[in-house]
């Protein structure tokens, strides 16, 4: 396992001695998320929990399903650093569009130890939140003004707000077309979620689609695997993860990870 210095895997507590931007930002986040880790804390915590169940960087292949956005890649880098390498299942917004072929490819690259293959799937959408609590707002290095994350979800959210959603497949915009079609199945007709609600819906969709494909492709008798989900959050100074479902299936039995 890679060494990440003094990151001790502890959950962030909203301690009074914290100062400045981080304190302010965490107070904002506290309104929206029950649990919060830095990315390093999150990956380290999940790695340690999975190590107790027999997964490690020698016998396991990691795979990531996160947004293509460059500000999301810190998490992918940490996962790669900690687990060795990481198969890339990602699409815009972190949607799982790699399908059975993508998942099977990741599995066929796994080491085999004691007759078992082991996979760890990290699957998370993302959202930026600024220190005043504005959803979707971030800044990009070398660019003036505000930017948006997740841009794909924000664009879809604006279309819903405007009452104009194109439900056809645009062959010149395949992933965004799939995002609209897939997410609209989960949104009540006429309801327009804000960006945070849409991000939460996206998280459940990514998890459901990944799990559905796992059921079809993964052979339980010869594979142990873990599903790690949550929401990646960007602030001006750091990235965080709020965990959702985190579990492992070992010898066919599901164990919740203490994350
Ligand atoms: Zn994005």
User: For 126-160, what is each residue's pLDDT tens digit?
Assistant: 999 987 788 898 877 777 778 899 999 999 999 99
User: What residues does 225 pair with on adjacent strands?
Assistant: 119, 249
- Using DSSP bridges, classify how beta strands 239-250 and 37-38 pair: parallel, antiparallel or unpaired: antiparallel
Predicted confidence at residue 22, as pLDDT, reads: 64
Q: Is the pLDDT of residue 258 over 80?
A: yes
Which DSSP symbol is given to 189?
A: T
Q: How far is the CA of 57 from the centre of ligand 1 (A)?
A: 28
> Please, what's the largest Cα pairwise distance for the chain?
56
Cβ–Cβ < 8 Å for 196, 32: yes
Distance 246 CA to ligand 1 centre (A): 22
What is the arithmetic mean of pLDDT over 10-26? Answer: 52
Q: How far is the CA of 104 from the centre of ligand 1 (A)?
A: 25
How far away, in angstroms, is 111 Cα from ligand 1 center?
31
Contact predicate 7/40, CB 8 Å: yes
Question: Checking DSSP bridges between strand 147-148 and strand 137-138, what pairing results, if any?
Answer: antiparallel
Interval between CA 59 and ligand 1 midpoint (Å): 31
Q: What is the pLDDT of residue 13?
A: 42
11 CA → ligand 1 middle, Å: 25
Ligand 1 centre from 183 Cα, in Å? 15
Place of tokens 């500000």: 71
pLDDT above 60: residue 7? no
pLDDT band at 111 (very low <50, low <70, confident <90, very high): confident
* Count of C-beta atoms within a 10 Å radius of residue 164: 8
End-to-end CA distance of the chain: 18
Residue 139 near residue 55 (C-beta atoms within 8 A): no
Give the SS3 label for residue 78. helix
Q: What is the CATH number of domain 20-256?
A: 3.40.1050
Report the C-alpha gap between 58 and 31 in whole angstroms. Answer: 39
Closest to 44 in 3D by CA, of 77, 73, 8? 8
Instruction: Tell me the CA–centroid distance for residue 87 and ligand 1, in Å.
Output: 19
Nearest to 240 by CA among 20, 22, 50, 19: 22
Task: Give the Cα separation of 33 and 243 in Å (integer).
Answer: 9
For position 144, what pLDDT does the model report?
75
Residue pair 106/87 in contact by the 8 Å Cβ criterion: yes
Residues of the chain with pLDDT > 70, as a percent, come to 91
What is the predicted pLDDT for the residue at 49? Answer: 98
**Position of tokens 């971030």?**
138
Per-residue pLDDT band at 30 (split at 50, 70, 90): confident
What was the pLDDT predicted at 134? 86
What are the pLDDT digits (tens) for 39-58?
Answer: 999 999 999 999 999 999 99
Please report the DSSP string for 133-170 in residue order.
--BTEE--TT--S-EESSHHHHHHHHHHHHT----S--
Residue 5 has pLDDT above 70, yes or no: no
Q: Where are the domains of the chain?
A: 20-256
Could you tell me the distance, in angstroms and rounded to a whole number, from the CA of residue 113 to the centre of ligand 1?
Answer: 36
Does 16 score more than 50 pLDDT?
Answer: no
| Rounded-to-integer distance, Cα 159 and Cα 162, Å | 5
Q: At what angle do helices 151-162 and 195-217 cross, to 10 degrees?
A: 120
Question: Residues 6 or more apart from 150 whose CB is under 8 A from it?
Answer: 67, 69, 93, 94, 125, 126, 127, 128, 136, 195, 199, 202
Q: What is the pLDDT of residue 153?
A: 98
Convert the pLDDT of each residue in 188-242 to its tens digit.
999 999 999 999 999 999 999 999 999 999 999 999 999 999 999 998 778 999 9
In angstroms, rounded to a whole number, what is the distance separating the alpha carbons of residues 204 and 244? 9
In this prediction, residue 20 carries a pLDDT of 58
Report the length, in residues, of the chain: 259
In the predicted model, what is the mean pLDDT of the chain?
89
């Amino acid at each position: 396992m890679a060494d990440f210095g003094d990151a001790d895997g502890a959950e962030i507590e909203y301690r009074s001695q914290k100062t400045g931007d981080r304190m302010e930002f965490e107070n904002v986040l506290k309104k929206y998320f029950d649990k919060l880790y830095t990315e390093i804390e999150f990956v380290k915590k999940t790695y340690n929990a999975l190590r107790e169940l027999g997964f490690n960087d020698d016998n396991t292949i990691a795979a990531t399903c996160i947004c293509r956005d460059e500000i999301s890649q810190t998490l992918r880098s940490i996962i790669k650093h900690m687990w060795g390498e990481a198969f890339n299942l990602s699409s815009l917004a972190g949607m799982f569009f790699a399908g059975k072929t993508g998942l099977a490819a990741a599995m066929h690259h796994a080491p085999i130890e004691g007759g078992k293959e082991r996979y760890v799937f990290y699957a998370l959408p993302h959202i930026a939140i600024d220190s005043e609590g504005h959803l979707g707002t971030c800044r990009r290095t070398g660019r003036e003004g505000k930017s948006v994350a997740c841009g794909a979800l924000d664009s879809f959210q604006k279309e819903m707000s405007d009452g104009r959603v194109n439900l056809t497949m645009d062959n010149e915009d395949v992933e965004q077309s799939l995002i609209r079609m897939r997410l609209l199945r989960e949104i009540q007709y006429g309801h327009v979620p804000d960006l945070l609600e849409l991000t939460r819906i996206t998280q459940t969709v990514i998890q459901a689609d990944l799990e559905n494909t796992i059921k079809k492709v993964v052979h339980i008798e010869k594979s142990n695997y873990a599903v790690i989900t949550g929401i990646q959050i960007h602030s001006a100074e750091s990235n965080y993860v709020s965990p959702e479902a985190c579990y492992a299936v070992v010898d066919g039995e599901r164990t919740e990870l203490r994350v």
